[in-house]
Amino acid sequence: METGEGANLSVYEEVLKQQVDGIVLSSIFIDDPIYQELVASGIPFVMFNRRYSSGGNYIEINDEKAGQLATNHLLKLGYVKIAWIGGPTHASTFQGRLSGYQKAMTSANHPVGYEWIKETDTTELSVVKAVDALLLLDTNRHFRGDRLDCIILPKLLTANGVPNPQTL
């Protein structure tokens, strides 16, 4: 399964062949090659939950702020060794969340080591591998992740001896 930039090229090419009147899309990457093709097509389109690097018409939450809020929550609870697990940063959502995590940690004067940042492809196996790698580093680590991780992490952490991971 292709997951990088341009992975959806064939899907968009098929959509453009259908002569649609407009497109609402959430599968675009920061530097996705399809963007220029969409612009050139003249078909109106709106991106949601993702955006292209130069902007365009998009609707998106402030992912950087979300990353800061989640990290600051753990910091306020007294945790300082906080790891980040997220999806590929060629997607604006994950890039923003990682940036927010890094800003919150830096603002709190807590260094972020590259080994604390785990970029995944968001599959369960990838998240499991990221958690396993972090658990090898330090058993007192706390996690800041995304929606998929909120489903998978409690089960993994409990299995690895972390008490009450739902309270993190």
Place of tokens 């050139």: 40
pTM for the model:
0.69
Domains in the chain: ranges and CATH:
9-59 (no CATH), 63-167 (3.40.50.2300)
pLDDT, tens digit only, all 168 positions of the chain = 445 555 567 777 788 788 889 988 877 888 888 888 888 888 898 988 777 887 788 888 899 999 999 999 999 988 888 899 999 998 888 999 999 999 999 999 998 888 999 999 888 888 889 888 888 875 455 555 554 444 445 555 566 565 555 444
> To 5 degrees, how large is the angle CA 90–CA 94–CA 95?
60
Are 96 and 102 within 8 A, CB to CB?
no
CA gap 124, 94 in Å, rounded: 16
